[in-house]
Amino acid sequence: MLSSIFNRIVLIFQLLLVIIYIIFEEIIWEGVAKPIYEYIHSFKILQTIETKLQNFNNYIILFIFISLLLLVETFGLYAGVLFVSGHMILGLSLYIAKLPIAGFTFWLFRATEDKLMAFGWFAWLYNLIIRFMSWIKSTQIYGDTLKYSVKIKNYIKDFKSKYFQNRSSFIEKLKKLYNSIKESLKK
């Protein structure tokens, strides 16, 4: 009985972690943050800065990176607090405002990864996070949830293409209905 309850708690915890991971990985990273990172990375000036960063002291790089990371995470946590407290627009605005900073922070990490990994504790923590993410991806619940989310995404795409195309018969019928109601109200 007790092990059954424990197993259910672990399963709920896994499901929560998987959903959070999928939301951040699939929606926020792939849909928003990665394009921002790629846009930032395309700037010629940043490519020049990447070269110059190699001459910076490791501690300065670490200080800048951790400062930016803490700023981004603080924005994210505060945006969550705003969401929960009912200030949805303000929370969303803050979350959106943090995305370019997050993209820049990720760029800084990639540009100075060798300098950051020179700190043993940083490399250990980074590898711990990578192993944790790999563990999440290796769970059956992750695979099942990802398959289900792909089904939902495909259903939404099919629905959009069927009913909301430029020349969809459904949209045309709605437009005709709207125009006829509008004409009858004018009379």
Q: What is the pLDDT of residues 111-140, one digit of tens each?
A: 899 999 999 999 998 888 888 878 877 878
- pLDDT for 171 equals 65
- pLDDT for 33 equals 64
Q: Are residues 148 and 72 in the same domain?
A: no
| Residues contacting residue 135 through CB under 8 Å, at least 6 positions apart | none
Distance between CA 97 and CA 90 in Å, rounded?
A: 10
With 0-12 / 13-18 / 19 or more C-beta atoms within 10 angstroms meaning exposed / middle / buried, residue 156 is exposed
Q: Are residues 114 and 181 in the same domain?
A: no
Q: Taking residues 46-64, what's their average pLDDT?
A: 87
* Greater model confidence, 26 or 182: 182
pLDDT category of residue 28 using cuts at 50, 70 and 90: low
Structural domain range at position 66: 2-138
Distance between CA 28 and CA 35 in Å, rounded?
A: 10
**Is the pLDDT assigned to residue 167 strictly greater than 70?**
no
Q: Are residues 23 and 76 in the same domain?
A: yes
What is the count of structural domains for the chain? 2
What are the CA-CA distances from residue 132 to residues 14, 70, 78, 163, 176 (Å)? 12, 20, 24, 41, 55
Q: Are residues 102 and 116 in the same domain?
A: yes
